[in-house]
Amino acid sequence: MKLIALLLAGTTLALSAITAQAEVRFGIMNESYPPFFAKDASGEWQGWEIDLMNAVCDEMKEKCSIVELSWDGLIPALQSKKFDVIWSSMSNTAERSKVIDFTDKYYNTPSTLIGPMDQKPGAAADDVKDKTIGIQVSTIQSDYYKKYFADVADEKTYQTLDEAFQDLAAGRIDYVFGDSLALDAFLKSDAGKDCCAKMGDVADDKVILGAGVSGGLRKEDTELKAKLNAAIAAVRANGKYDEITEKHFDFDIYGAK
């Protein structure tokens, strides 16, 4: 009987270990990025990307958790196995694909310039000549600036877009350059609607701006990639994706098929 009890105890421990290993840890930036993710009054994460994460986890039938890190620490933390998948509006680019893998995309929106209301609209190099552009560090927009704007305009980098928005509203910089949806959320805020307007979307460059936002994975995690891709496809097919999107947007953010 004692042997049976020991065997049962061992089996229980083994099953517990399997359950623990099944948890998928999602890494997100530790700053608000509405409408994709932000903390509510109780400190809980909410937003479009959080809702999609929960739907994907339901499809995978996995327990999921959130790990918070700074934006520029996400890829190093993924590689050191502090979590399992970057789920933080990260674009799938050729440069990033050298060091990590990506799931299928789950949304794709253009990159945009915003500036003061009295600024002449335009998002080409001639439009930003002799101006200062605020950009979040380690972003595709920073890479785009270096290729297209560096010869004519200055770059001021920020750890978060919120810091850039504050400087724009205060007149300390001339533009903020970022993802159109994040910038649109600022323009609709009390601070943004009184100061600023959209200047335009920049010309596309798929090498720099990427093929859309995807989940970032370690290259060896092929099984998890397959499960995430299947779950993303299922959520798209069963209508859950559209249901989630309609809660936050009045248009389809998936982008061109």
Distance CA 230, CA 56 (A): 9
Task: Write down the pTM of the prediction.
Answer: 0.77
Residue 30 lies in a domain: yes
Q: What is the CATH number of the domain that holds 141?
A: 3.40.190.10
Average pLDDT over residues 186-196: 95
Q: For residue 131, what are its two tokens? A: 């101006």
Residue 11 lies in a domain: no
The answer to whether residue 20 scores a pLDDT higher than 70 is no
**Together in a domain, 159 and 36:** no
Distance CA 101, CA 114 (A): 31
**Together in a domain, 57 and 173:** no
- Work out the mean pLDDT of the chain and round it to a whole number: 91
In angstroms, how far is the first alpha carbon of the chain from the final one? 62
Residue 13 lies in a domain: no
Beta 196-201 vs 111-116: how paired, if at all?
A: antiparallel
Task: Give the domain extent around 101.
Answer: 23-108+210-248
Q: For residue 242, what are its two tokens? A: 């559209």
Number of folded domains that form the chain: 2
**Together in a domain, 126 and 169:** yes
**Together in a domain, 125 and 184:** yes
pLDDT digits (tens, 9 = 90+) for 132-146: 999 999 999 999 999
**Together in a domain, 46 and 94:** yes
